[in-house]
Amino acid sequence: MSPPLKRSGVGDMPFSQTSLLVVQPTPFCNIDCSYCYLPDRSSKKRLSFELAQVIFRKLLRFPTVRELVTVVWHAGEPLVLPVKYYEQMFQLIKDLSPPGLHVRHSFQTNGTLISDAWCELIQKWNINIGVSIDGPAELHDLHRKQRNGAGSFNLTHEGLRRLQRAGIPFHVISVLTVESMAKLEQMLDFYVDNAIEYICFNIEEQEGLNSRSRFVNSAAADARYRSFLERFLDLSFQRQQPVLVREVESSMRAIQGHGAEIRNEQAEPFRIISVDSDGNVSTFSPELLGLKHERYDFCFGNLRDLEFEQIAARVMESSLYADIGAGLQQCASTCAYYGVCGGGAPANKIFENGSAASTETVHCRSLMRSVDVVLDLIDRLPPDLSTRWVAHQTQGASSAAPLHPIF
């Protein structure tokens, strides 16, 4: 682990190395998911190359950006912009990168626009790809619709097929809803039949524009998720079709590292930096940028005008930073799972509990239940099978796995 930095002019706050830059090339999205939290997804503005020069010249020289950083193109649908846009943008970033800095790129996409030209770009720049697909058509099309109201499954599925035909590894993110948890066999069949190697499960959350979720403050929903994951893994064993699941892998690593220093990247200033298409900058949970809340300001300035020291001072002086710290203290003193979690995601605390100075959320409970399921399964499996399964689930360094655990 790189040592923290201390900067004059920003007090004694140690800043750890930035692991993730989340960049919004455009807020526009070509589909209209019912559970989407993002505002302004009908706006077609884009990050200009002129502004990108300013942004990346500063960002890539932030004292927190050192040997390696991942740039995730996200927030809106990044592939609505043409291939040539990214060819020029990637080259711009490469030309601006200081000596010794390695930049990796990643797309999180709905997959509907993937073409042969996109596959060529992905291969040329060795881009990590995450595709959002919620399972078979009957489940995916319930919430992930095109703007004309039609389902988006066929387009997304064809995008997956194009990636596979080109030999490009990818992971998928599936949003778990009440409907999909009730059909775990169909979910497993879908992943196996489509040779999907790495699955990330996101619980439908109350966040941003998605102000209602059937999982908030529901003991039944909590039990439903645990039952789903437990039965999903059991069924994969019964069929001898083991799959790699992010939640299982991350729980396994947390269990194995229990007692070591806990890193909660969403609670550390500048570990994650988010920038929108206008140059506005935020930190902590990446989805905070662009959202509004009566209690907090999530934007800490614009990179057109401000330097690192000014932005850092605003972060440190903010009520958001103070409340995140207070929330971590509450979690550490009250939660038995703090040693494998590190205090949860500030965005979830804010939009579920009304304050970052709070504790348990749906996201927290999903992490807890994932750990419970993993521990129980290890205990139930015969020793030789348990050893093989642990090794299998911790091989997430495969090329299909996401570069960063959040995406």
Residue 272 has φ and ψ, to the nearest 5°, of -120, 130
- Give yes or no for residue 164 having a pLDDT over 70: yes
Question: What are the tokens at 162?
Answer: 């194009």
CA dist 187 and 370 (Å) reads: 18
pLDDT at 11: 42
CA 181 from chain centre, in angstroms, equals 21
Question: What are the tokens at 244?
Answer: 């790699």
Q: What does the pLDDT look like over 187-226, one tens digit per residue? A: 999 999 999 989 999 988 644 444 455 555 567 778 889 9
Instruction: Write the secondary structure of 180-246 as one string of H (helix), E (strand) and C (coil).
Output: HHCCHHHHHHHHHHCCCCEEEEEECCCECCECCCCCCCCHHHHHHHHHHHHHHHHHHHHCCCCCEEH
Question: What are the tokens at 176?
Answer: 């778990």
Q: What does the pLDDT look like over 305-357, one tens digit per residue? A: 999 999 999 999 999 999 999 999 999 999 999 988 889 999 999 998 999 99
pLDDT band, residue 124 (cuts 50/70/90)? very high
What residues does 40 pair with on adjacent strands? none
pLDDT band, residue 6 (cuts 50/70/90)? very low
Question: What are the tokens at 71?
Answer: 């740039």
CA dist 96 and 92 (Å) reads: 6
Q: Do the Cβ atoms of 143 and 152 come closer than 8 Å?
A: no
Helical (H) or strand (E) element with 334: helix 319-334
Q: What is the mean pLDDT of residues 360-379?
A: 89
pLDDT at 76: 87
Q: What does the pLDDT look like over 243-292, one tens digit per residue? A: 889 998 888 877 776 556 678 999 999 999 999 999 999 999 998 988 88
Where do the H-state alpha helices sit in 287-404? 308-317, 319-334, 338-341, 346-353, 362-380, 383-393
Q: Do the Cβ atoms of 105 and 89 come closer than 8 Å?
A: no
Which of 200-214, 225-239, 298-312, 359-373 shows the highest mean pLDDT?
Answer: 298-312
The residue length of the chain stands at: 407
Higher pLDDT: 298 or 209? It is 298
Q: What does the pLDDT look like over 59-115, one tens digit per residue? A: 999 999 999 999 999 988 999 999 999 999 999 999 999 999 999 999 999 999 999
pLDDT band, residue 160 (cuts 50/70/90)? very high
State how beta strands 31-33 and 20-23 pair. unpaired
Share of the chain above pLDDT 90, in %: 66
Q: What is the mean pLDDT of residues 130-148?
A: 96
